[in-house]
Chain A
Amino acid sequence: MTDNHDERAFITAVLRADEAHLDDAGFTDRVLASLPRPRRRRRFTLRDAVIAAASVAAATAGAFASAHAGATVFVSVLPLAAIAALGIWGALASADA
């Protein structure tokens, strides 16, 4: 009982003799129930594409309008700049989503 083979056989037998067969018994279900919620993965949908296109169009129109107005009349430039800014913001937001 002193050589390595017998030693190994002894320890293996001891550990396996004490080993009980483990039925699932709901274990898998408990694991699944304790998993965190699925990671949300946003995909670029058609809706996002429409919003992005509309936003880019608004930004372009705003930029042209601003250029045409020549920035001479502050009152007319301000809303156009706001439209352009909103358009850019919308485009960036859609692209980021």
Chain B
Amino acid sequence: MHLVMGPSDRELVARVVVDDDRHAFATLVRRHHGAVRAFARRLDAQNADDTAQTAFVLAWKHLDTWRGDGELKSWLFKLTYRAFLTDARRAHRRHETVGDVDPGSMTPVDVTERRDVGRALARLRDEERAALALCFQEGLTHDEAARVLDMPLGTLKSHVARGKDKLRALLGAYDPDGTEAA
């Protein structure tokens, strides 16, 4: 269970919206930067902090539009994904990513180190990586993840399934717990 010490997100947001309270906003940033930056790292490890920073600046500007009907963290993920897409389009990075590949034809990567897991993840499509990160790393439901990524539920599920298949093909021999090697 996740316990929040101090004022709730909702109270802090109200202070920011009504009084432009930067201390309240700083508390929100400190509270959520870990999850937001971890998600940004999944999307683009090289520019993760810039993406996360852009997301928080967007949050500051548009905090009055947060409806409060879901978790603030989910809304921050949404802004992070949007910031990532904007940067990616600007840099035409999407043209450089690997196209849709049949999982069966993928050559497993050497996953002896953490960075190799990162390399395997980098071979997934942006949407697949984002969907896996939200559903498996951040623990969002499919519904929540679909809302964050602004896509229909069925599409989200397809990305999750395809991403899982690819990851399993790429990391076939990988044992994340290190138990099989023992």
Residues of A at under 8 Å CB distance from B? Answer: 7-8, 10-19, 21-22, 24, 27-28, 30-32, 34-36, 38-39, 41
Contact = CB atoms under 8 A, between A and B. Distances in A.
23 contacts: A11-B164, A12-B136, A13-B176, A13-B177, A14-B117, A14-B167, A15-B132, A15-B136, A17-B114, A19-B38, A22-B33, A22-B37, A27-B33, A27-B52, A28-B29, A30-B53, A31-B53, A31-B56, A32-B22, A32-B29, A35-B22, A35-B60, A39-B20
Contact of B171 (A14, A30, A31): A14
B131 to A, nearest CB: 11
Nearest to B61: A36
Secondary structure class of chain A's binding surface, majority of residues: helix
Secondary structure class of chain B's binding surface, majority of residues: helix
Contacts of B33: 22, 24, 27-28, 31
Given A13-B176, A38-B20, A32 B25 contact: yes
Which 8 A/B pairs are nearest by Cβ-Cβ distance?
A13-B176, A15-B137, A18-B117, A17-B176, A38-B20, A31-B56, A12-B136, A28-B29
Contacts of B174: 14
A76 to B, nearest CB: 51
A12 B137 contact: yes
Given A13-B177, A31-B53, A34-B53, A18 B136 contact: no
Nearest to A35: B60
A28 B132 contact: no
B68 interface: no
A17 B22 CA distance: 35
A39 B16 CA distance: 11
Interface string B81-107: 000000000000000000000000000
Contacts of B57: 31, 34-36
Given A22-B33, A35-B60, A36-B61, 10 more contacts: A10-B176, A14-B117, A17-B114, A18-B118, A27-B33, A28-B29, A28-B33, A31-B33, A32-B29, A39-B20
Contacts of A16: 137, 176
Contacts of A21: 34
A13 B136 CA distance: 9
A4 to B, nearest CB: 10
Contacts of B13: none
